[in-house]
Each structure stands twice: as C-alpha cells, then as structure tokens.
C-alpha cells in the first residue's frame, strides 16, 4: 500500500496535496498496490476522484490544529499497523516538516521536493535542488520510502474513482509531541486575496525605494484584484512584512500575471515567481535578469510607469 499524508485546513484539501496525490496514484498503479491517505483531525470529501481507496482518519482531542511532532506520531503508528511501502506528502512547509520528523523517528532517509519516481527495490527519484535551479537524480533507499512532492510541478489530475472507506483511529500522543503546535491564528485583512491564491501579483524590490513607494503597487493590485509581494530586500528593509516575500525563502506563487517592479531577478527570487503564466518586468536596467527572462518588459522608472499604467487602466474601466 502507498500512504499519502493529505493536508487539510477546515476540511478543505490543500492544492499541493492534490498535486502530490497525482504522483502517489501513478506510483500505486505502477506497483499494483492500493492508495490510502491519512488525514488528521477532520475528514475531507472527494478523495475517490484522486484514486484513493481508504482514508485513515486520526481523531484525538489534541489534534484540533497543526502540531508537527504529533502529526508525525500519528503516521508512525499507522505505518506500524499498515506497513506501507512508501509514504508521500506535499513538499509544503508542513509536509516537509512532518516528513522530517517522521524520518527522524523511523531512522529512514527522506527525499524532499521530488518531481518524478521510478519504483523498484530502491526508488530512482528526480528532485528539485537549489530552489528549483538544479534537478538531481538520486536513489531513495529505506523501508518505507519517504518522500515529498515539489509543489506546482505536477498538475493535479482527477480519475473516475470508486467508494472510499473511512477508517478512524485514535493515536496515542504524549505531551512531548504536542509542545510545538498552533496556538493562535491571524486572519489576513478581509477582502484581500492572499499571495498564494492571487491571480495577479504586483511585486516590488529595492527599486521601489521606500515603504511609502509601495502605495502605487497597492493601487495597481487593488485595481486588478491582486496581491502585493516583495523581494527579500524589500522585506529585509522593513518595507513589507516577511509574509509578502516571494522566492526560495518566501512564498512560491503561480498567478496568471506577475508584475515585477524594481526587482533584479536574482535566482532566489526567480524560483518563487517562474511558475507565473506571464511575467511583466518594470525596470530601469534592460540587462536585469528579470527583464531578460520576462515575457514582457517596460524599461523605465517604476514611479513613472506604474502611475501611467494605472491611469490607462482606469480610463479603460470607465469607458466600458
């Protein structure tokens, strides 16, 4: 059996878990074994359409929110009972964190950010390294095989699924395993889309010049129903909150349109925005990597280009 850890929040399955299930299902089909999932805290619907035949639902009073060591403990106990050949999770912060705990608990290696798997006694895996700028071919050993699937690489597919059996279980959890958990949540400003979900992201870098300089980016993002992001320079200088950072050590985004304003396009930033369908760079330097790699570029001062763009957009909206 292949076991996949599905992340849910309020009963809604995380998109990257669905991408991971596509690879998990293909692996289960290739090795002729069933695909089971483990869900923690709350049952989710619709998994049959992703090839899942059974859901192991971990139920415990202390599992009302994310707790990495406790989540790993649930999976450890399930592995002992069900003996899966491989355990997969999405290569999200949570997925990688839980699988790292799991690897440590089982004394088994874990391959993070995998994009393809050829099964065998050992698995041949391809995985993203250096924020996606390098593809590594590696052999994955161990029993069970532990791996996470790189987000935004594999398209989530649905199949004609059958009935899904729900198998609740109550894990034994120690107080130690619950030391790290979510103690509170802050909601984003109401009405604003989040960076990860936005179809348009307007991002600013050092070229914006100041925290106040972001007002024009906010205005454009509002007009397009998008979100504002930033480079690490913009967040390190305190112009934007760290949650707005796009890149290797920030959020990876995949909007329809990414507008990079005053951002040079260093590799650590590029890996966070390269999955956008279209990229528009606004930069004074025609040789900036962001300009040379973008689909469209405007060479000029963003503080002149953006107001002109906003004025033109407003005029078009009004004349509709």
Ligand X SMILES: Cc1cc2nc3c(=O)[nH]c(=O)nc-3n(C[C@H](O)[C@H](O)[C@H](O)COP(=O)(O)OP(=O)(O)OC[C@H]3O[C@@H](n4cnc5c(N)ncnc54)[C@H](O)[C@@H]3O)c2cc1C
Q: Where do contacts with ligand X occur on this chain (CB under 6 A)?
A: 205-207, 231-234, 245-250, 262-264, 266, 268-269, 272, 282-285, 288, 301-303
Q: Which residue has the tokens 């995949």?
A: 254
Nearer residue to ligand X within complex by CB, 133 or 170: 133
H-assigned helices in the chain: 15-30, 68-82, 93-106, 215-224, 232-236, 267-273, 289-293, 302-318
Q: Find, among 169, 168, 160, the residue nearest to 48 by Cα.
A: 160
Nearer residue to ligand X within complex by CB, 145 or 252: 252
Nearer residue to ligand X within complex by CB, 226 or 265: 265
Nearer residue to ligand X within complex by CB, 109 or 308: 308
The distance from CA 237 to its chain's CA centroid, rounded to whole angstroms, is: 25
Question: Which residues touch 83 (CB under 8 Å, ≥6 apart)?
Answer: 1, 144
Cβ 202 to ligand X shortest distance, Å? 13
Residue 168 near residue 57 (C-beta atoms within 8 A): yes
Cβ 309 to ligand X shortest distance, Å? 13
Q: Which residue has the tokens 């700028």?
A: 133
Cβ 78 to ligand X shortest distance, Å? 34
Nearer residue to ligand X within complex by CB, 157 or 285: 285
Cβ 302 to ligand X shortest distance, Å? 4
Cβ 286 to ligand X shortest distance, Å? 9
DSSP code of residue 132: G
d(CA 46, CA 57): 14
Q: Which residue has the tokens 């307007």?
A: 202
């Amino acid at each position: 059996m292949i076991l996949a850890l599905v992340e849910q929040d309020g009963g809604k399955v995380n998109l990257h878990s669905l991408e991971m299930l596509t690879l998990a299902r293909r692996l289960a089909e290739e090795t002729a074994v069933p695909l089971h999932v483990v869900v923690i805290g709350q049952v989710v619907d619709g998994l049959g359409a992703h090839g899942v035949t059974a859901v192991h639902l971990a139920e415990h009073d202390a599992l009302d929110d994310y707790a990495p060591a406790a989540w790993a403990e649930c999976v450890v106990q399930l592995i002992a009972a069900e003996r899966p050949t491989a355990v997969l999770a999405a290569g999200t912060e949570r997925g990688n964190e839980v699988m790292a705990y799991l690897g440590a608990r089982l004394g088994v290696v874990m391959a993070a950010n995998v994009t393809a798997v050829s099964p065998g006694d050992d698995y041949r895996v391809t995985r993203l390294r250096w924020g996606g700028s390098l593809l590594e071919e590696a052999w994955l050993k161990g029993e069970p095989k532990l791996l996470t699937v790189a987000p935004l690489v594999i398209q989530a597919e649905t199949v004609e699924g059958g009935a899904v059996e729900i198998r609740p279980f109550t894990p034994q959890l120690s107080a130690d395993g619950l030391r790290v958990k979510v103690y509170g949540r802050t909601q984003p400003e109401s009405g604003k889309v989040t960076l990860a979900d936005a179809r348009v992201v307007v991002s600013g870098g050092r070229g914006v010049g100041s925290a106040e300089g972001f007002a024009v980016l906010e205005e454009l993002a509002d007009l397009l129903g998008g979100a504002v992001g930033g480079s690490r320079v913009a967040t390190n200088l305190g112009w934007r909150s760290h949650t707005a950072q796009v890149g290797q050590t920030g959020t990876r985004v995949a909007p329809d349109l990414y507008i990079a304003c005053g951002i040079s396009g260093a590799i650590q930033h590029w890996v966070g925005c390269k999955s956008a369908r279209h990229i528009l760079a606004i930069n004074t330097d025609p040789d900036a990597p962001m300009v040379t790699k973008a689909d469209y570029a405007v060479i000029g001062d963003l503080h002149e280009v953006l107001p002109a763009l906003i004025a033109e957009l407003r005029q078009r909206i009004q004349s509709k």
